[in-house]
Amino acid sequence: MADTGTDTWWRGAAIYQVYLRSFADGNGDGIGDLAGLRARLPYLAELGVDAIWLNPWYPSPMADGGYDVADYRAIDPSFGDLAEAEAYIEEAHALGIRTIIDIVPNHGSDQQDWFVQALAAGPGSAERERFLFCDGREGGLPPNDWQSIFNGPAWTQVADGQWYLHLFAPEQPDFNWRNPEVVEEFHAILRFWLDRGVDGIRIDSAAVLFKDLDCVEESYTDHDDVHEVYRGWRRITDEYEGRFLVGEMWMPDQERFALYLRPDEMQTAFNFDFLSRSWDAAELRASIDLTLTTHVPIGAPPTWVLSNHDVTRPVTKYGRPDTSFSHQDRKHGMQTDPVLGERRARAAALLAMALPGGLYVYQGEELGLPEVEDLPDHLLQDPLWVRSGGTDRGRDGCRVPIPWSGKEPPFGFGAGTPWLPQPADWKNLTVESQQADQNSMLALYRDGLKLRRTHLGDGTLTWMDSAEGVLAFTRESLTCITNLTAGAMNLPPHTEVLLTSAPLEEGKLPTDTTAWLR
């Protein structure tokens, strides 16, 4: 594993994100589960990943794809049970694959025991103090005018007249992090999973835990008090060898972002700036420089992410006109060039693999899966769609189940009908169809991850002089060049080509292509 020591394996790891509902179905009910994941562990070991990050696997009404957690110490029956989760962790460890799980601290589920008790207990009770219940304003108005991230008011009124805060869906009531019971409960949850061999904790919506409810503005992001929470979490994870915290924070202020990565807080955090940049050499270099400037002085390894379960898949994103590029624009029928998108996605993959720090790969990236933009309206389940009145297609298009084999749906995903339908033309994108094709996206990822483990990981980057529209840098024994100009370019003389994202043209590097050299 490309790292600097056992305790810091995550500094240069390649981590594969599994959205469990859509990875592999082991019992034939159309929903991915732990049985399916366990059966596919050899595939991930062969791919060359160091760890798996699992989206929430807890019991949940699935109002938000599992991010509305009803019980933090159990497994949703649709995925399996706790014994099967423990068996999975053990089997993954046997293959050299570590496990990272999602912890969702901002909110729970309206079906969680604590919230049911709070509704029954009434205003002023200790049970309600675990959440953010308030009286409304005159005229039957909510406590303030905050809006939910999922559209609509961030407040819902209950039968006795009080209101509770939910930054996301109404089914996701926010916890009161000024309540010591909440703090202690999550300490116990962390220990519960670390004791079972979990290697890392991904912290969902990490910057929004604290709210000043008397603020007129939507002041619920990045409150100073949140840092003491993560100092407490860090003290716990430091008791377990080789464990780490990775935060999810969408924050444009890099100085504030860096505060979460101080030596006594999180070890890493997702780098959404890189994910958000358009396919432009100056834009990408600016993001790389900004990321390194933020992380290197404080000794924190950067992370590199091209997509996840919340954003448009790279093949579709990079196939859109440069001027209208957006990783979160989900309007129906946007213009996309799939050939251009695949070419740039391949180049972006090799570029991201070559950068110093940790790498996150969302399931299906290694197959070149596009966003499914024509899912029938009646099948869409994302609350972004439900609460937008049909103006936001939501995130279901990047969550369609993985195609494994065969010539027609469900493509080996499982014996039943998948919870979201797969396009018929995915027959050319299955794992089976790409396994033996040395020019496939799967082969590119497999070869790239193998070379990355051998040559790269954590470390330094040195920029090389290059023409406008070209990114060129050295990493230890490897040189990475990405050509974003309109035409082919000459490669440096006397170099060995280790890997390219597209075939060379008479020894020249074509446009929208990345090459690894030495």
Rounded Cα gap, residues 425 and 403, in angstroms: 11
3-state class (DSSP) for residue 163: strand
- The question of whether 195 is a catalytic residue gets the answer no
Rounded Cα gap, residues 359 and 304, in angstroms: 5
Out of 204, 329, 337, 476, which one is annotated catalytic? 204
Decide if 384 contacts 394 (C-beta within 8 A). Answer: yes
Rounded Cα gap, residues 295 and 459, in angstroms: 12
Strands 244-247 and 200-203: parallel
State the DSSP H helix or E strand holding residue 444, giving kind and residue range, or none if neither.
helix 441-455
Strands 163-165 and 133-134: antiparallel
3-state class (DSSP) for residue 474: strand
- φ, ψ for residue 456 (rounded to 5)? -130, -140
Q: 26 burial class (0-12, 13-18, 19+ CB within 10 angstroms)?
A: buried
- The question of whether 204 is a catalytic residue gets the answer yes
Out of 81, 239, 289, 408, which one is annotated catalytic? 239
The owner of tokens 């039957």 is: 140
Torsion sign over Cα 358, 363, 366, 371? negative
Strands 163-165 and 155-157: antiparallel
Please count the other Cβ atoms lying within 10 Å of the Cβ belonging to residue 361: 24
- Four-point Cα dihedral 197, 200, 204, 206, nearest 10: 130
Give how far Cα 285 sits from Cα of 269, 278, 290, 348, 473, Å. 20, 11, 8, 12, 10
Residues annotated as part of the active site: 204, 239
